[in-house]
């Protein structure tokens, strides 16, 4: 047990928690926006892959890092647009289209990767975002190195949660978004466009998912690998449920989840690591996600119109 305590009281552990949580936060917020508007976006996994690739290749091609973030976001919004068109005005099965988008976005990223770098056996590295110390705060003992010495994208992730929460609960736009996921005819009857709100939510949400993917390549790992997203998108869908469709609770879920993930990586290096096969540790995130879904199944606050397409004038 003392080994676990040692891990938990080290600042580097908590710094890692924030780092691991960052891509999950972006993508979870993206999915949350889509679902609050009533659209399940199973394209998330593929959109994270395309975001990871697009952000990285843009930086590799000479764009500044924030340019990479913007390119990643645009790539995500493009696939979000496809998902939105097929599921909102055409009202196709959100399950089937979502899986299709994941297949399409993933294979597009891989194709583009092979096309742009046909010769290489291992992907080139870029210079990723570096940690920035927040003046004053980063000098605090323990808390400083743990929380205030992160890359700009991590700070941006937390800022995103704030913005999403603010928009959802403190603006007319957020009111309309929440209403459209609950009862689209309420929105239509008040003269707003269900189609525009839902499509907008899916497109913006997909952009955020792609930034989550880009975090992996231009903030965390500095390279693009196949299968680097590795189910993170699916985990984020579980996190949205776990967070009961509330931004703050989803953030909490992402942090909790990242803490377990950071812990399992460190436990592998302890005496536990020699006792238990490493695969067991790697399974923990997926098992936790399923447990989270089971735990929240009875209490979930699911938007009433989630996965229900809306055809105008039909009641």
Partner 1 sequence: MRLEAIENPTLARSLGLPVLALVATFMVGGFLAMLAGANPLLTFGLIVKGAVGSKFALLETLNRATPLIFTGLAVAVAFRAKLWNIGAEAQLYAGALVTILIGTKLALPGPLLIPLMGIGAMIAGGVVLLGPVLLKTRLGVDEVVTTLLFNFIMLLLISMLLEGPLKDPMGMGWPKSEAIPRNARLPRLVEGLRLHWGFGIAILSAVVVWVVQTRTTLGYEIRAVGLNAEAARFAGIPVGAVMVKTALLSGGLAALAGYSEVAGLKGNLTLDLSPGFGYTGIVVAMLALLNPLGVIVSAIFVAGIFVGADGMSRAAEVPTYIADILLACALLFMVLAILLTKFRVRKG
Partner 2 sequence: MTSETAAQGDPVLRLSGITKRFGALVANDGISFDLARGEVIALLGENGAGKTTLMNILFGHYSADAGSVEVFGQTLPPGQPGAALKAGVGMVHQHFTLADNMSVMDNILLGTEPLWRLGLGRRAARARVAALSRDFGLEVDPDETIAALSVGERQRVEILKALYRDAKILILDEPTAVLTPQETNALFLTLRKAVALGLSVIFISHKLHEVMAISSRVLVLRHGRLAGSVVAAETDRQKLAELMVGAEITPPAPSKATPGAPLLVLDRVATEPQGQRPGLHDVSLSLRAGQITGLAGVSGNGQGALADLLSGLALPTEGSLEIVGERVTGWSPRAAIAAGIGRIPEDRHRTGTIADFTLTENAILETYAQAPASRRGWMDWRAARERAEDIIAQYDVRCPGPQTRIRLLSGGNMQKLILGRVLQGNPRVIIANQPVRGLDIGAVTYVQNQLIKARDAGAAVLLISEDLDEILTLSDVIHVISEGRLSRGFPRGTMKPADLGQWMAGQGFDHAA
- Contact predicate 214/51, CB 8 Å: yes
Q: What is the DSSP letter of 139?
A: G
Residues 251-310 that bind partner 2 (CB under 8 A): 301, 304
Q: What is the DSSP letter of 223?
A: S
Is 187 a residue that touches partner 2 (CB under 8 A)?
Answer: yes
The residue among 174, 182, 224, 228 whose CA lies nearest residue 201 is 174
124 binds, among partner 1, partner 2, none (CB under 5 to 8 A by kind): none
Residue 50 vs 218, nearer CB to partner 1: 50
What are the backbone angles phi and psi of residue 118, rounded to the nearest 5°? -70, -25
Residue 137 vs 283, nearer CB to partner 1: 283
Residue among 62, 118, 136, 313 that touches partner 2 (CB under 8 A):
313
User: Per residue in 121-133, is it b (16+ CB within 10 Å) or e — as a string?
Assistant: eebeebebbeeee
Sign of the four-CA dihedral 254, 258, 261, 263: negative
Q: How far is the CB of 195 from partner 1 (least distance, A)?
A: 8
Residue 56 vs 310, nearer CB to partner 2: 310
What is the Cα–Cα distance from 272 to 48, expressed in whole angstroms?
Answer: 32
Residue among 191, 271, 275, 279 that touches partner 2 (CB under 8 A):
191
Q: How far is the CB of 240 from partner 2 (least distance, A)?
A: 16
**Chain positions contacting partner 1, by CB under 8 A:** 42, 82, 86, 89-93, 95-97, 99-101, 103-104, 106-108, 110-111, 114-115, 118, 230-231, 234-235, 237-238, 241, 277, 279-280, 282-283, 286-287, 289-290, 293-294, 297-298, 300, 311-313
Q: How far is the CB of 289 from partner 2 (least distance, A)?
A: 25
Reduce the DSSP state of residue 133 to 3 states and report it: strand
Residues that bind partner 2 (CB under 8 A): 166, 170-173, 175-176, 178-179, 182-183, 185-193, 301, 304, 312-313, 315
């Amino acid at each position: 047990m003392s080994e676990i305590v040692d891990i938990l009281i080290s600042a580097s552990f908590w710094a890692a928690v924030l780092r691991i949580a960052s891509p999950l936060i972006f993508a979870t917020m993206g999915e949350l926006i889509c679902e609050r508007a009533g659209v399940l976006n199973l394209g998330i996994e593929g959109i994270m892959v395309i975001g990871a690739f697009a952000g990285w290749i843009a930086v590799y091609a000479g764009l500044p890092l924030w340019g990479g973030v913007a390119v990643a976001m645009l790539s995500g919004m493009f696939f979000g647009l496809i998902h939105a068109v097929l599921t909102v005005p055409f009202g196709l099965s959100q399950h089937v289209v979502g899986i299709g988008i994941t297949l399409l976005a993933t294979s597009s990223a891989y194709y583009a990767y092979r096309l742009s770098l046909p010769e290489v056996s291992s992907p080139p590295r870029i210079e990723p975002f570096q940690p920035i110390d927040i003046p004053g705060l980063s000098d605090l003992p323990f808390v400083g190195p743990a929380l205030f010495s992160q890359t700009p994208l991590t700070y941006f992730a937390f800022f995103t949660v704030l913005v999403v929460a603010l928009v959802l609960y403190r603006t007319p736009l957020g009111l309309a978004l929440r209403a459209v996921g609950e009862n689209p005819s309420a929105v239509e009857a008040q003269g707003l466009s269900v189609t525009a709100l839902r499509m907008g939510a899916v497109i913006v949400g997909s952009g955020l998912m792609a930034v989550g993917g880009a975090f992996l390549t231009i903030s965390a790992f500095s390279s693009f690998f196949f299968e680097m997203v590795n189910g993170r998108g699916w985990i984020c869908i579980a996190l949205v449920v776990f967070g009961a469709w509330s931004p703050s609770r989803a953030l909490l879920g992402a942090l909790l989840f990242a803490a377990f993930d950071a812990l399992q990586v460190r436990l592998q290096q302890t005496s536990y690591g020699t006792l238990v096969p490493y695969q067991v540790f790697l399974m923990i995130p997926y098992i936790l996600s399923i447990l989270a879904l089971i735990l929240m199944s009875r209490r979930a606050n699911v938007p009433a119109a989630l996965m229900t397409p809306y055809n105008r004038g039909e009641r």
